[in-house]
């Protein structure tokens, strides 16, 4: 392993061209799930979960196995991390045993510390600040339905709802990296961190993308190619749904809002979804919805990401072909 150690901790950890390479690989895995097996021999990938998961657990576990590796799935309750062991110590141990580390956790600083002390690639499988693997899958879904990866630059997308959460941050950075027209809408008090917006604008200036942050969902959705949303209440806050959801009802993705998008606009949701709340059943179960392709594409996008990271580490460009 004599190449460059790379991590995927946030969406702007890759350039426009690198993101395109990963998405092209993802399209190849969609066509042929066994397109590449970058793991030589019985190598393990540590997949750590501090939060509940369905799609992340399934896609990484199955994906690592299909790549020729062994997924070592570690739950918070079954590791010393859950009992307060320093992240630095966990990193020092796992990097002596695993070929990569995937972590679904809370604060972004946790994956950053893991990466600082790791000698193998670290992948952010979700933090409170970013969800880069989901956005790769979402972009792959657009490529699937809209003519390939080369169709992404210039495409317009809108995210509406809680615009202060990890999905809004990742759409801003990931969409800007792809050269897209990215629009994010949320109520006052639930808008993106200005530093994230500024970084997205800087990226967009290089890639030909555009960034719009607004409190008007109609402005965001007008004429776009795809509408995205997410649950209004984060994990662990479900008991407070009635209170926490109040600011968001004007941002519900319903038939009336979708009519403002392009006639053939798609709808995506990272799931789990709450029908009748952030999205109506008529939209998520309707003909514009591609959420099941989106969920499947977590598998293909994450296999592509791991293949790309291992190719960088080994300086083996054949893995990226």
Is 230 an active-site residue? yes
CB 240 within 8 A of CB 210: no
Which one of the listed residues 16, 36, 270, 312 is annotated catalytic? 270
**Cα–Cα dist 30/24, whole Å:** 10
Rounded to 5 degrees, φ, ψ at 160 are -130, 145
Which one of the listed residues 131, 183, 269, 288 is annotated catalytic? 131
| Residue written as token pair 């997949």 | 47
Is 226 an active-site residue? no
3-state secondary structure at position 272: coil
DSSP label of 167: H
Which one of the listed residues 20, 104, 110, 288 is annotated catalytic? 104
How distant, in Å, are the alpha carbons of 26, 94, 241, 242, 280 from that of 238? 34, 34, 5, 9, 18
Which one of the listed residues 230, 252, 269, 300 is annotated catalytic? 230
Which one of the listed residues 298, 300, 302, 312 is annotated catalytic? 298
Is 16 an active-site residue? no
Picking from 129, 221, 132, the residue whose alpha carbon sits closest to that of residue 175 is: 132
Is 133 an active-site residue? no
Which one of the listed residues 134, 252, 268, 302 is annotated catalytic? 134
Preceding peptide of 272 cis, ω within 30°? yes
Positions marked active-site: 104, 131, 134, 230, 270, 298
């Amino acid at each position: 392993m004599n190449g460059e150690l790379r991590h995927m901790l946030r969406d702007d950890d890759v350039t426009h061209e690198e993101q395109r390479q990963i998405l092209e690989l993802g399209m190849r895995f969609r066509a042929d799930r066994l397109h590449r097996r970058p793991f030589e021999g019985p190598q393990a990938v540590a997949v750590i979960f501090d939060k509940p998961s369905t799609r992340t657990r399934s896609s990484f576990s199955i994906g690592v196995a299909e790549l020729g590796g062994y997924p070592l799935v570690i739950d918070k309750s079954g590791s010393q991390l859950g009992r307060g062991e320093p992240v630095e110590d966990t990193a020092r141990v796992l990097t002596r045993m695993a070929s990569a580390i995937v972590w679904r956790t809370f604060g972004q600083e946790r994956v950053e510390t893991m990466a600082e002390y790791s000698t193998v690639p670290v992948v952010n499988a979700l933090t409170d600040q970013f969800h880069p693997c989901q956005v790769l899958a979402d972009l792959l879904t657009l490529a699937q339905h809209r003519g390939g990866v080369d169709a992404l630059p210039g495409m317009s997308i809108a995210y509406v709802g809680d615009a202060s959460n990890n999905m809004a941050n990742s759409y801003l950075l990931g969409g800007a990296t792809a050269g897209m027209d990215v629009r994010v809408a949320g109520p006052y008090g639930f808008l993106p961190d200005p530093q994230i917006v500024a970084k997205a604008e800087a990226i967009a200036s290089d890639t030909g993308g555009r960034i719009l942050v607004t409190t008007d969902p109609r402005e965001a959705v007008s004429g776009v190619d795809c509408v995205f949303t997410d649950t209004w209440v984060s994990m662990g806050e479900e008991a407070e749904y009635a209170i926490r959801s109040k600011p968001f009802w004007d941002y519900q993705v319903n038939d009336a809002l979708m009519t403002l998008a392009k006639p053939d606009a798609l709808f995506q949701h990272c799931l789990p979804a709450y029908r009748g709340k952030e999205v109506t059943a008529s939209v998520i179960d309707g003909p514009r919805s591609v959420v099941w392709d989106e969920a499947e594409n977590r598998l293909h996008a994450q296999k592509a990401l791991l293949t790309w990271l291992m190719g960088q580490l080994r300086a083996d460009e054949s893995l990226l072909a």
